[in-house]
């Protein structure tokens, strides 16, 4: 497993504040967006599959403010002020995993999830899906502690047996992808 230590995220990053209709209403630094019950901001979540239909999971770095060490989908982050969600999604795939993939937009949804007494996610999240033939992952150690491809059956079993090891947004998105977008997943 190759790794890189490039810094790809800063506490000075200005995130895009939105209303529930995803209309931009301002900006705020990343840490400030996540304090207390969180301030609604735009985010994205990417699920990457290989040609066999296995999904790429990452264990979040212990350096993360929220859900450090939890398993999640391939890539999740925020567009920066002035950046589109699709541009941000492609940028972060390259920065976090060293891969590129054609992405298909699936849907967006709003959720709020507190993490201990540290802060909360309150995001209007754009969900993307992609397929890659490149399994030569170069994980960014500042973002990702480890990664793996798993089958749908294996992930379903892990979610049933150990749901508290996974991020809340991933759990919200996983079943909906298969319920409404299975045609986009190889082997589904």
The pTM for the full model equals 0.92
Q: What is the mean pLDDT of residues 57-83?
A: 96
Answer left, alpha or beta for residue 92, where phi above 0 means left and psi between -120 and 50 means alpha.
Answer: alpha
Here the tokens at position 143 are 């973002």
Given a cut of 50, whether residue 7 has pLDDT beyond it is no
Active-site amino acid positions: 76, 123
Domains and CATH numbers, the chain: 13-184 (3.90.79.10)
pLDDT tens column, 138-164: 999 999 999 999 999 999 999 999 999
pLDDT tens column, 75-88: 999 999 999 999 99
Given a cut of 60, whether residue 2 has pLDDT beyond it is no
pLDDT tens column, 99-111: 999 999 999 999 9
């Amino acid at each position: 497993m190759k790794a890189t230590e490039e810094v790809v995220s800063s506490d000075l990053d200005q995130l895009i504040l939105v209303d529930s209709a995803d209309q931009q209403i301002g900006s705020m630094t990343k840490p400030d967006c996540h304090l207390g019950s969180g301030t609604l901001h735009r985010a994205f979540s990417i699920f990457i599959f290989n040609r066999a239909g296995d999904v790429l999971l990452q264990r979040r770095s212990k350096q993360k403010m929220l859900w450090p060490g939890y398993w999640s989908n391939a890539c999740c982050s925020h567009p920066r002020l002035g950046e589109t969600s699709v541009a941000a999604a492609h940028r972060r795939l390259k920065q976090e995993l060293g891969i590129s993939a054609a992405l298909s937009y699936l849907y967006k949804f709003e959720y709020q999830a507190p993490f201990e007494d540290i802060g909360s996610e309150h995001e209007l999240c754009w969900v993307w899906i992609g397929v890659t033939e490149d399994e030569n992952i170069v994980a960014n150690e500042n973002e990702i502690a480890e990664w793996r491809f798993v089958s749908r059956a294996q992930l379903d079993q892990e979610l049933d047996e150990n749901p508290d090891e996974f991020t809340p947004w991933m759990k919200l998105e996983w079943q909906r992808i298969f319920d409404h977008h299975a045609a986009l997943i190889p082997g589904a």
